Amino acid sequence: MSGCKYTTILLDMDGTLMDFDACESRALETVFARHGYPYSPAIRKLYNGINSRLWKEYEKGSTTKAIIKSTRFSELFQQIGVKGDGAAFNIEYLDELGNNWFPIEGSFELCRILHDSFRLYIATNGVSRTQRSRIKGCGLEPFFDGLFISEEIGVQKPLAGFFEYAASHIPNFKKEETLIVGDSLTSDMKGGLDFGLSTCWFNRHHAENPGLPITYEIHSLLELPSLLGIRSE
């Protein structure tokens, strides 16, 4: 067991354990090709702008996941002149996304190392069916004691309700013994800080921190074990 103060680690999924950009790119390309719709880097950029705006609204609590699912492709199709059913297309896209997993370098090794010393939980804002399919398919599922997915909880990170739910479903949960690890300053780090948790920002792309008082910052997943006093073999 580790000699550090933490007993429990919450790990974000997309952008932390999984390369969501790679998964998204493959899924979009596949489903657009299936329908014969035009697809290009410019169309993906347009989609990403729409999707990012909607997810930021979701994090703030000003929209719902159902609205995201039903409108993001409808809005995209309208802008690119495609006559298609955006809601139905979204279902196909999510199914395809669930079939794609591109683990970020070091994710499997990190989970293997931490599993021996900590209780590990996934904490994600993703879609339930998609996230469960991906975490199982990539082989990481056995390392985790549980999965907390916003769609199943009904509340998303960074809102307190997400963390309250997780805390109530982790045996003998203690804030001072819990660390959240994630790539998002707005959902993972802010949510963890607001709830009174220690935080570790996985700053893979060396972005600038606007001033959040995070506990740790790493640029590679395998930096984490040594920060926690764990020797990797």
pLDDT score of 232: 56
Closest among 228, 224, 157 to 195, alpha carbons compared: 157
Q: Quick check: is 78 in a domain?
A: yes
State whether 37 and 85 are in the same domain.
yes
* Residue among 6, 15, 21, 23 at smallest CA distance from 221: 15
Question: What element of type H or E holds 182?
Answer: strand 178-182
What pLDDT score was predicted for residue 73?
A: 97
pLDDT for residue 1:
43
Chain segment 52-64, per-residue pLDDT in tens: 999 889 888 888 8
Question: How many domains, in total, are found in the chain?
Answer: 2
Residue 164 shares a structural domain with residue 201: yes
Same domain, 142 and 209: yes
Helix axes 86-98, 128-137, angle to 10 degrees: 20
Q: Which residues of the chain have pLDDT under 50?
A: 1
Sheet holding 198-202, edge to edge: 146-149, 119-124, 8-11, 178-182, 198-202, 216-218
Same domain, 123 and 54: no
Element (H, E) at 47: helix 41-59
Q: At what angle do helices 86-98 and 20-35 cross, to 10 degrees?
A: 130
Same domain, 56 and 118: no
Residue 169 token pair? 């479903």
Is 12 annotated in the active site?
yes
Instruction: Print the domain residue range for 196.
Output: 8-18+103-227
The C-alpha atoms of residue 97 and residue 193 are separated, in whole angstroms, by 30
Tell whether 58 and 137 lie within a shared domain.
no
Residues 146 and 180 placed together within one structural domain of the fold? yes
Domain harbouring 48, CATH code = 1.10.150.240
Q: For residue 46, what pLDDT is reported? A: 97
Select which of 12, 14, 19, 188 is catalytic.
Answer: 12
Residue 232, in any domain of the structure: no
* DSSP secondary structure letters along 123-178: EE-S-HHHHHHHHHHTT-GGG-SEEEEHHHHT--TTSHHHHHHHHHTSTT--GGGE
Is residue 3 included in any domain, yes or no?
no
Name the nearest CA neighbour of 145 among 164, 126, 173.
173
pLDDT of residue 143: 97
For residue 120, the surrounding DSSP H or E stretch is strand 119-124
Half-sphere exposure in the Cβ direction for 216 (13 Å, CA)? 19
User: Domain check: are 149 and 93 in the same one?
Assistant: no
The predicted pLDDT at position 56 comes to: 87
Out of 35, 66, 98, a domain closes at: 98
| CB environment 58-67: b (16+ within 10 A), e (fewer) | bbeeebebee
Quick check: 225 and 231 in contact, CB under 8 A? yes
> Which of 98, 119, 143 is a domain's end point?
98
What is the separation, in whole angstroms, between the first and last Cα of the chain? 14
Q: Could you tell me if residue 177 is inside a domain?
A: yes
Is pTM beyond 0.75 here?
Answer: yes
